[in-house]
Chain A
Amino acid sequence: SQTIHQWPATLVQPVGSPLSLECTVEGTSNPNLYWYRQAAGRGLQLLFYSVGIGQISSEVPQNLSASRPQDRQFILSSKKLLLSDSGFYLCAWSVAEGYEQYFGPGTRLTVT
């Protein structure tokens, strides 16, 4: 069966510090991968998606970037965090676009 992992689960970082969140998927090959951000108790906003290694599409221009160095690894990064980057970051995968998405457990990021 497929599983999706995210780490860390919780992160507190000062403004201006770098960020690296990691997501890995097991049990499937060449998945579509997604990064979402969720404001407190609200809907999810798609940040990035990837259909293959090295292929990244950005949905929202901002202080963040994403990379996919391996087939089942998706990384969300920032060089300098802003207060507004605080939130709940979720990674998801699907077999292809338009198909059911499966979400990871999320990372709670607090920028202080």
Chain B
Amino acid sequence: TQLLEQSPQFLSIQEGENLTVYCNSSSVFSSLQWYRQEPGEGPVLLVTVVTGGEVKKLKRLTFQFGDARKDSSLHITAAQPGDTGLYLCAVFMNTGFQKLVFGTGTRLLVSP
């Protein structure tokens, strides 16, 4: 069983469309991170959300942490081909060490 389930698994849209991807869990977290990974490269941190209900904006990307801190969403407005990539949510789990655990990922393809 995955700690973090992301949906949808794959999303193919046209340039200019809006989209939302989700990261869900039954566990409560103190914070949650979103990464974007382009093909053949390592993930790059986009944002960390900490407070329940928090909303953070990064240009056309809007991140929200659920009120109960169990889930998060990423909304992209007017998607561009440069947004193409794998979007991963991640949380730190204390297993005697602060281990970074990643979600299952959403692969986004934005076509011109």
Contact = CB atoms under 8 A, between A and B. Distances in A.
Pick from B4, B44, B97, B107 the residue with the most CB of A within 10 Å.
Answer: B97
A41 B107 contact: yes
Contacts of A44: 43, 88, 102
Contacts of B86: 41
A103 to B, nearest CB: 3
B105 A57 contact: no
Interface string A93-109: 00001101111111010
A5 to B, nearest CB: 11
Contacts of B42: 90, 92, 103-106
Interface in B71-112: 86, 88, 92, 97-105, 107
A26 interface: no
Contacts of A92: 42
A57 B97 CA distance: 10
A80 to B, nearest CB: 27
Given A42-B104, A43-B105, A100-B45, A105 B40 contact: yes
Nearest to A34: B100
A59 B102 CA distance: 14
The 5 closest A-B pairs by CB, nearest first: A103-B42, A98-B98, A43-B102, A97-B98, A44-B102
Interface of B: 2, 4, 33, 40-45, 48, 86, 88, 92, 97-105, 107
11 contacts: A43-B102, A43-B103, A43-B105, A44-B88, A45-B102, A57-B97, A100-B33, A101-B45, A101-B100, A106-B40, A108-B40
